[in-house]
Amino acid sequence: MKTVTQLLRGKGQGILSVSPDTPVFDALQVMADKNVGALLVLERGELVGIFSERDYARKIILKGKASKETPVREIMSSHVLYVRPEQTIEDCMALMTDKRVRHLPVLDQGKVIGVISIGDVVKALIAEQQFIIAQLQNYITGGQS
């Protein structure tokens, strides 16, 4: 079973983040520029929240707030689920499905080392299944293709 560490090695460990005081509009600009659906919210290097498109839609648009005047801290999700490097991709999928989240920070000894998305997890699971299928086909045909 593939681990979070292996997944991060393949996708890279870049971390996109903003501070809690960043205006929502500026955070959205970063998300659009980098084509991502969420940003970590870090304060002095510590994870204090996550800001997603869902937060924006539900807490700015629907409540009639202004994105240029509202800081991320007012609408971010401060209860952040996370995973550890040694956890399996299957663990991540179960957590994401159960808690209905699309992004999980990866913490190692309290330090953020990466972020994985539902897309990363699905891609890894599909690759793993394709490998297993190829191995089974090879076994069934006796190595003759």
Which pLDDT belongs to residue 141? 85
pLDDT at 129: 83
If one counts the domains in the chain, the total is: 1
Which residues form the domain of 28?
4-140
pLDDT of 145 over the 60 cut: no
Residues 53, 37 contacting (CB under 8 angstroms):
yes
Mean pLDDT of the chain: 90
Distance (Å, whole) CA 24 – CA 72: 5
pTM of the model: 0.82
Contact indicator for 21, 71 with CB cutoff of 8 Å: yes
Instruction: Report pLDDT for 132.
Output: 83
Residue 145 in domain: no
Q: d(Cα 27, Cα 17) in Å, to the nearest integer?
A: 9
* 61-71 residue pLDDT tens: 888 888 899 99
User: Over the stretch 95-124, which tens digit does the pLDDT of each residue have?
Assistant: 999 999 999 999 999 899 999 999 999 998
The count of C-alpha atoms lying within 13 angstroms of the C-alpha of 47, restricted to the half-sphere facing its C-beta, is 25
**Which pLDDT belongs to residue 4?**
92
56 inside domain: yes
Residue at 76: amino acid letter: M
Q: Does residue 38 fall inside a structural domain?
A: yes
Higher pLDDT, 19 or 59: 19
The pLDDT tens digits of the residues spanning 75-89 come to 999 999 999 999 999
CATH number at residue 78: 3.10.580.10
